[in-house]
Chain A
Amino acid sequence: MKTPIRLENLRDASLETMAEYFKVDVSNVVLKRLYTLGLPNKKSESYRYFPMESLLSTEYETLDFTPLEVHQKEKIEILDGQVISIPPYVRVYYTHYDDIDMEHYDPMYYLGHLLNPRVIMIEIDGDRSIELIHRFTKPNALIHYRLVIKNQANRHTTLYESFESTNAQGSLVLHGYDMVVAPDSTLRVIKNQNIQNEAYTCVSSHHYKVSRQANLVLQSFDFGNTAALDLFKVELDTYATLDAGHLLYLLGKTRRGIVSQIVHKGEHSSSKQEAKSILEDDARGIFDALIRVEHSAIHSKTVQNSKAVLLGEHCYMISKPQLEIYIDELEASHGATTGQLDSKQLFYLRSRGISEKEAKKMLIIAFANTLIDHIKDARYQEKVQKSFEETFYSHTKEST
């Protein structure tokens, strides 16, 4: 372990002090972006509903970077920020990354790059389905790493992302992707993150660049009673498409959600973003999502929708679907609903002799299934479904 770190100390630091801390020149553009945006506080738009300040003011251990042996396996495994296994058709190496998005809205994106001047570069050959496991094992630590993922043009790649932890209580994980979806290719990212009982806290900040005629599918499944925030920005080139689905199932007093920005840059680009949230107890869900259609993106299509079901007496959903449009030639729609389970559906089930309790369970699982069913691979679909149902049933058991 190295010297402990309290990120809050950087809040009022001068540019020079920050440069010294990150060991970069004061003219470094990434540093300047972080300095301009400032560390998140209660007034920061993207972190208004998330307890970022308390995470930043916590003191964490920092981890030594001692290269670990990399094994060949059928999956990519990252242990506390370091790659420990890779499949044979994947090239992985640590490198400096120059294609950082200089218009990202999230200061943590820049902080992540400054903390990780060398990113984990993953280059994937051919049509592949790859499992990527993030594993955390250090307590009270700041675990930080960034990945850059590149696929090949005209290829289909699927990335199944899951998270495991042992003894990582009190740790803050700061990580994120920079992904470049190659022209005419399809990249699917299916994320399954179930965090229970403060196992660790996670803030992810991503940038996805979808090239001409490429397709990006983002499906995120976030369950549990522990705070986490997923922030991402997607840029769509000409004829590029994005299909994003987010399922939140939150328990306890957790604050968790999605903050996103989808930017249509190219003509005929299209995006679809669907969020479904199920909140129990005192949980707070966040869906703060902006879609921006720029002047260059004529004939674009965009659909955005958020539906939340509130099951707890004190739970709360922050749904902020937003459209920012600079052209007339497009198709766009967005909406948000927050409420209880559908009374007509509930009655229909009960009228067939199914108890109210069982009928409610069926409707909640059904609500979740409408997104889980979109996972193409049956094996992984089953994994996500199991993760959801285990969390759901154990909570139902506890509350009865």
Chain B
Amino acid sequence: MITLDIKDLHAKIGDKEILKGLNLQLEAGKVHAIMGPNGAGKSTLSKAIVGHYDVEITAGDILYKGKSIIEMEAEERALEGIFLSFQHPVEIPGVNNAYFLRTALNAKRKHEGKEELNAAEFLRAMKGHLEALGMKSDMISRSLNEGFSGGEKKRNEILQMLILEPEVIILDEIDSGLDIDALRAVSEGINKMKDGKRTFLVITHYSRILDYIEPDYIHVLKEGKVIKTAGVELVAKLEADGYDGIVEE
């Protein structure tokens, strides 16, 4: 089953067209990796999917479970189950991390017609996730991402993913700035979410993260289009020949 169907997508940031007729289908329960050189449009693609204000879609469509989402607000897309782990999560001084996480979780629960969690119930629900990610409990009492190291920010992104339980998970350069221990903890968190139903889109420059999160498909993005889709064996070819060695299909 196709969860996300991106059809002939054209998108620009400012006056510059970045995506130039991009087609991509993401299957439910599969891990899709998007690789490509700098400036290929990888981050623009992730932003287009989640409805970032920077990106203007000029043509084409994005269908989520068969329904167009390009007119939906960012929060509606999130509530429907689309999640982006940001490459550079913003710091928000003064917003308590636990308060933020509970507000986001309760918005989701409300959307699903479930009871909202009170502070105690929320903290109980968080405990296991914090331990699994190797996060100190004081991290959720601090301001959101303020003063967090690169690794702590990425762990906090994964924590959000774990509690919000989205259906489509986009990981934008999740491995950037992570040391080996942090990479392992983050990958374990992601692998925990693999249940054969959720869809992953892993955006990366390097193959390192793919040693930890095994992809089902590799898509090569170049100059605003997907030029090749293949199995995991494509990674070795990319390592050997680089992006220039890939011929558009």
Contact indicator B74/A351 (Cβ below 8 Å)? yes
In the assembled complex, how far is the CB of residue B52 from the closest CB belonging to chain A, in whole angstroms?
6
Residue of B nearest to A366 (CB): B94
Q: Count chain A residues whose beta carbon lies closer than 8 angstroms to a beta carbon of B.
A: 25
Q: Pick from A348, A354, A355, A358: contact of B90, CB below 8 A.
A: A348
Contact indicator B103/A347 (Cβ below 8 Å)? no
Contact indicator B53/A347 (Cβ below 8 Å)? yes
Contact indicator B92/A363 (Cβ below 8 Å)? yes
- Across-interface contacts of A358 in B (CB, < 8 A): 103, 107
In the assembled complex, how far is the CB of residue A108 from the closest CB belonging to chain B, in whole angstroms?
34
Q: Contacts A356-B75, A367-B94, A370-B93: A351 and B84 contacting too (C-beta < 8 A)?
A: yes
In the assembled complex, how far is the CB of residue A364 from the closest CB belonging to chain B, in whole angstroms?
9
Complex Cα distance, B62 from A211, in Å, reads 67
Contact indicator B92/A352 (Cβ below 8 Å)? no
Encoded as 1 (CB less than 8 Å from any A CB) or 0, chain B from 169 to 205 comes to 0000000000000000000000000000000000000
Flag whether A26 is at the interface (Cβ < 8 A): no
Complex Cα distance, B82 from A351, in Å, reads 9
Taking CB atoms and an 8 Å cut-off, the chain B residues in 84-108 that contact chain A are: 84, 86, 89-90, 92-95, 99-100, 103-104, 107-108
In the assembled complex, how far is the CB of residue B111 from the closest CB belonging to chain A, in whole angstroms?
7
The interface residues of chain A, by DSSP majority, are classed as: helix
In the assembled complex, how far is the CB of residue A278 from the closest CB belonging to chain B, in whole angstroms?
12
Flag whether B79 is at the interface (Cβ < 8 A): yes
Complex Cα distance, B143 from A160, in Å, reads 26
In the assembled complex, how far is the CB of residue A190 from the closest CB belonging to chain B, in whole angstroms?
18
In the assembled complex, how far is the CB of residue A347 from the closest CB belonging to chain B, in whole angstroms?
6
In the assembled complex, how far is the CB of residue A225 from the closest CB belonging to chain B, in whole angstroms?
23
Contact indicator B94/A355 (Cβ below 8 Å)? no
- Across-interface contacts of B71 in A (CB, < 8 A): none
Contact indicator A365/B94 (Cβ below 8 Å)? yes
- Across-interface contacts of B26 in A (CB, < 8 A): none
Flag whether B164 is at the interface (Cβ < 8 A): yes
Flag whether B214 is at the interface (Cβ < 8 A): no
Contact indicator A345/B90 (Cβ below 8 Å)? yes
Encoded as 1 (CB less than 8 Å from any B CB) or 0, chain A from 55 to 89 comes to 00000000000000000000000000000000000
Complex Cα distance, B206 from A17, in Å, reads 85
- Across-interface contacts of A344 in B (CB, < 8 A): 90
Residue of B nearest to A368 (CB): B94
Q: Contacts A343-B53, A348-B86: A353 and B75 contacting too (C-beta < 8 A)?
A: yes
Encoded as 1 (CB less than 8 Å from any A CB) or 0, chain B from 158 to 169 comes to 001000100000
Encoded as 1 (CB less than 8 Å from any B CB) or 0, chain A from 358 to 400 comes to 1100110111111001000000000000000000000000000
Taking CB atoms and an 8 Å cut-off, the chain A residues in 328-355 that contact chain B are: 342-345, 347-355
Contact indicator A353/B104 (Cβ below 8 Å)? yes
Contact indicator B74/A347 (Cβ below 8 Å)? yes
Complex Cα distance, B74 from A343, in Å, reads 13
Contact indicator A352/B90 (Cβ below 8 Å)? no
Contact indicator B95/A354 (Cβ below 8 Å)? no
Contact indicator A369/B94 (Cβ below 8 Å)? yes
Centre residue among A345, A354, A355, A370 by max chain B CB count within 10 A: A354
Flag whether B140 is at the interface (Cβ < 8 A): no
Contact indicator A352/B95 (Cβ below 8 Å)? no
Contact indicator B75/A351 (Cβ below 8 Å)? yes
Contact indicator B73/A350 (Cβ below 8 Å)? yes
Flag whether B220 is at the interface (Cβ < 8 A): no
- Across-interface contacts of A349 in B (CB, < 8 A): 92, 95, 100, 104
Contact indicator B92/A366 (Cβ below 8 Å)? yes
In the assembled complex, how far is the CB of residue B41 from the closest CB belonging to chain A, in whole angstroms?
19
In the assembled complex, how far is the CB of residue A375 from the closest CB belonging to chain B, in whole angstroms?
14
Complex Cα distance, B103 from A344, in Å, reads 18
Flag whether B4 is at the interface (Cβ < 8 A): no
Taking CB atoms and an 8 Å cut-off, the chain B residues in 102-136 that contact chain A are: 103-104, 107-108, 111
- Across-interface contacts of A373 in B (CB, < 8 A): 94
- Across-interface contacts of B90 in A (CB, < 8 A): 342, 344-345, 348
In the assembled complex, how far is the CB of residue B43 from the closest CB belonging to chain A, in whole angstroms?
14
Q: A344-B90, A359-B75, A370-B93 are in contact. List 10 more A-B contacts (CB 8 A).
A: A345-B90, A348-B90, A349-B92, A351-B84, A352-B104, A352-B160, A353-B79, A353-B108, A355-B75, A356-B73
13 contacts between A and B (CB under 8 A): A342-B90, A345-B90, A348-B90, A350-B73, A350-B75, A351-B50, A352-B78, A352-B104, A353-B75, A353-B104, A353-B107, A354-B103, A363-B92
